[in-house]
Amino acid sequence: MLGKKLVTAQKRGETRALCLGLGMVACSMMMYFFIGITIVPFYTKSVWTTETVCKVLKANIKDKVFCPKSKGSEDEEIFPYPCLQVWVNLTASGQEVMLYQTEDTLERNPKCSYVPDKLENSKEVKARIETIASNFKKYQTFPCYYDPGGTQTNVILSRLYPAKGLLFAFLWPTLMFTGGCLIIVLVKISQYVSVLSAWQ
């Protein structure tokens, strides 16, 4: 009687462990799919892949320009902000090009090097842009990214999704997938050993 209870409890434990392993594998596959349709296209679409050194030539704040808070926003959601233009000397080619914060900055407003995310306080936005401009004037040389193919003549300060960030995004689903597969393998080994012991 006690042996039957132990066998039943063992089978229930194996079933739960197997379900846990399969669930982890399924969740990791969903995470892979989500990363594949969101982050990977942005990473592969970016042409600014080569890092070089940029030297600031001038950093000026132009008159206020208008930019929507988000893509597809209505006209009433457009807000003005000071336009910061940073021109740098590209060490790789010696050209004078315009610097943008990220790839998204160029898409949102190609006239400005920096675009604020949202307007909370116009004075705060102005102070932030003035601080960024003074930092560029203070730190003349810094790493930047350019397009080695030459399709884009401008440069960016940082990539939205660098290679390290992409690897980090794939790290957690990989660990989950490995853990789930390990649990499934251990359960199958346990079942095989149990059948072998019962046969002997």
Secondary structure (3-state) at 67: strand
Q: Which residues pair with 143 in a beta bridge?
A: 53
pTM of whole model > 0.75?
no
pLDDT, residue 47, reads 86
Domain boundaries, the chain: 50-161, 162-199
Dihedral sign computed on CA atoms, order 53, 59, 61, 62: negative
Count of Cβ atoms closer than 10 Å to residue 82 Cβ = 19
Contacts of residue 32, Cβ cutoff 8 Å, sequence gap at least 6: 170, 173, 177
Angle at 133 between CA 130 and CA 135, to 5 degrees: 110
Q: Residue 133 corresponds to which tokens in the numbers above?
A: 């401009």
How many helices (H) and strands (E) would you count in the chain? 4, 5
The secondary structure of the chain in percent helix, strand, coil, rounded to multiples of 5, reads: 55, 20, 25
What local confidence, expressed as pLDDT, does residue 119 receive?
60
* Rounded Cα gap, residues 131 and 125, in angstroms: 10
In one-letter notation, the amino acid at residue 147 is D
**Distances in whole angstroms, Cα of residue 184 to Cα of each of 6, 55, 192:** 21, 55, 12
**What is the predicted pLDDT for the residue at 9?**
52
Q: What is the pLDDT at residue 73? A: 46
Distance CA 146, CA 152 (A): 8
Per-residue pLDDT tens listing for the chain (200 residues)? 544 544 555 677 778 888 888 999 999 999 999 998 888 888 888 888 888 899 999 888 887 665 544 444 444 446 678 889 999 998 767 788 999 999 888 888 888 899 887 666 778 888 888 899 888 888 889 999 988 887 888 999 998 888 788 888 899 999 999 999 999 898 888 878 777 776 76
Query: Considering only CA atoms, which of 92, 83, 93, 88 is closest in space to residue 137?
Result: 88
Indicate the DSSP class of residue 12: H
Helices 2-45/163-199 angle, 10° precision: 160
